[in-house]
Amino acid sequence: MAHRRELSDSRKKREEDRLAFLRWIADARREADDLRATIAIVPQNGDLPPDYQRMIAWARHRLAELEGQIAIERIQATLVERQLYREPDPLFDPEGDPPPKKNYWDD
């Protein structure tokens, strides 16, 4: 029973990790979209002030970093590294989640 409870706790933690990773991907994609839109609409030709040019260069660099992080290959590598969707599932319990522990002898 103790082992089944450990598996259950590990599954809950994994679900939190999965959700956090998906949220990170969504946030990174939104940021990349915002940067693309901003870069596309700001003036980029003519005699531009140096700070403005550096800002655009920084935005392009940040966009390139984000695009690398949200590429399918990088996401797949992260999923494998973090073991978020292993198959077969080492945390699988054919009996489902165990009942909550009520007493110290419930293990």
Q: Per the domain annotation, does 27 fall within a domain?
A: yes
Q: pLDDT at position 73, please?
A: 98
Q: Per the domain annotation, does 15 fall within a domain?
A: yes
Domain extent at residue 31: 2-82
Q: Per the domain annotation, does 90 fall within a domain?
A: no
Q: Per the domain annotation, does 87 fall within a domain?
A: no
Q: 105 pLDDT exceeds 80?
A: no
Q: Distance between CA 61 and CA 58 in Å, rounded?
A: 5
Q: pLDDT by residue (tens digit) across 9-35? A: 999 999 999 999 999 999 999 999 999
Q: Hey, what amino acid is at 10?
A: S
Q: Per the domain annotation, does 88 fall within a domain?
A: no
Count the domains in the chain: 1
Q: Per the domain annotation, does 94 fall within a domain?
A: no
Q: φ and ψ at 92, to 5 degrees? A: -65, 135
88 prior amide bond cis, ω within 30? yes
- Which residue, 40, 25, 32, is CA-closest to 72? 25
